[in-house]
Structure formats: C-alpha cells, structure tokens
Chains A and B, each alone.
Chain A
C-alpha cells in the first residue's frame, strides 16, 4: 500500500508564483525525501529531511515536516517554467529493510504546471 500521498494531484500556477505541495504518510519514519520527475524521465532527488528536523531549505525549495501530523510540505518559491514536473515524496519503508538496503515508498505524485 502507498505510504506517502501527495496533495493536490495536479497544480497549475503562473510563473513567479509560489507552489505548495503536501504529503501525508501513515507510519513512523526516519526521514522523508522529495523527488522531481520531468516528463518521461527518471526521478531526481531534491531534498531530504530527517524526522528530528522541522524545516529545511535548498535554494528556492523549502520543506517542512510535522511528525505529529505525519505530513510534509514542499514549497517552491518564485516558480519558473522549468519547474514544470511531477513531484514525489518518499519515505523509508521498514518492510523493505534487507541487508542494509532500505527501500523507499513513493507517493503518487503532484503534477505541477507552471504557466508562462
């Protein structure tokens, strides 16, 4: 079953505006990661936030984590056309721990469209 669920499923905004995506998960985690996927391509890692962190920044990205609500948000400020992509949250999934290869469980993604 899916661990992370992104909200909204799709988001369309004007260039220059801020975009906020949310992720909810079900079980306790050690960390949460956000990835971006451009159309038809592989995923690219954006940012990782540990369970003992509440907020993290990377360039125009700001991620928050609320472990009491089991939720995270990704904020992209001053959006650009190149930010058009699907965004996924991923959590470490205990059931995939095998010999040190801890797998991730991905949500279904938020498709972000930046209108020029």
Chain B
C-alpha cells in the first residue's frame, strides 16, 4: 500500500514563526503536491513538484515556499506564519506522466497560528 505520512497531525505556532511541514511518501512517486483545505473553499493547490529540486506554483503560493531535496520528501515552509494561514494542510503524491493516475493523500496537518 502506498503510504504518505505527514510530520504532525496538529501544530500550533505563533505569528511570525517559521514553520516546516514535512511530507514523506514510500512509493517512489515523482509528483508531490501541497494543498490547503478551508471550510467553504475546498482544497486549493499551493505548490507541486514533478521531480527532485523541481517545483511549480499552484493557485495560492503567496506566503509559502517548498523544498524537495530527496524524491520521497516534500516540505512546505511558511516563512513567517500569519493567522490567515491557519488551515488544514494536505500532502499528496502520484505517479508521473498523466492525470489519469490517482493522488495518494497523507492524513493532513491541522495548523493553528495564534
């Protein structure tokens, strides 16, 4: 079974802190994604990566950066956390090549910024 794990289920940070959210997948998937999920807004794509050291902006990249130094790990970085970044963050991975493959999701990290 594909497994996508996220470093924390719940996280509480203060405004202005630098926050790292880690995601690891064990199926050698080339593509990895970060989404945030907010009530009434659904899932919105923040960043994605199609290979090591490669990244592309999604719908809402402002205030975020990402790092993919190893194939299995994709990190989301909040450079200076703000209260409007309080949200559920979901990581996903998939096989490269086409959209006709499912995305596998991690359990999510619920981040609260106070």
- Chain A residues packing against B (C-beta within 8 Å): 2, 30-31, 33, 35, 40-45, 48, 50, 88, 92, 96, 98-109
Instruction: Provide the bound-state CA to CA distance between A35 and B51, in Å.
Output: 25
Specify which chain B residues have a CB less than 8 angstroms from the CB of A31 in the assembled complex: 99-100
Most buried by B among A2, A101, A106, A109: A101
Q: Judging by beta carbons under 8 Å apart, are A101 and B96 in contact?
A: yes
Q: Judging by beta carbons under 8 Å apart, are A106 and B43 in contact?
A: yes
Q: Judging by beta carbons under 8 Å apart, are B4 and A42 in contact?
A: yes
Main SS at interface, chain B: strand
Specify which chain A residues have a CB less than 8 angstroms from the CB of B103 in the assembled complex: 43, 45, 104
Closest CB in chain B relative to A31 CB, distance in Å: 5
Q: Judging by beta carbons under 8 Å apart, are B99 and A88 in contact?
A: no
Tally chain B residues at the interface, Cβ within 8 Å: 35
Q: Is B104 an interface residue (CB 8 A)?
A: yes
Specify which chain B residues have a CB less than 8 angstroms from the CB of A106 in the assembled complex: 35, 42-44
Closest CB in chain A relative to B78 CB, distance in Å: 20
**Can you add 6 more A-B contacts, CB < 8 Å, to A96-B45, A100-B98?**
A35-B105, A43-B92, A92-B99, A99-B54, A101-B96, A103-B33
Q: Judging by beta carbons under 8 Å apart, are B49 and A101 in contact?
A: yes
Specify which chain A residues have a CB less than 8 angstroms from the CB of B50 in the assembled complex: 98-101
Q: Is B58 an interface residue (CB 8 A)?
A: yes
Q: Is B17 an interface residue (CB 8 A)?
A: no
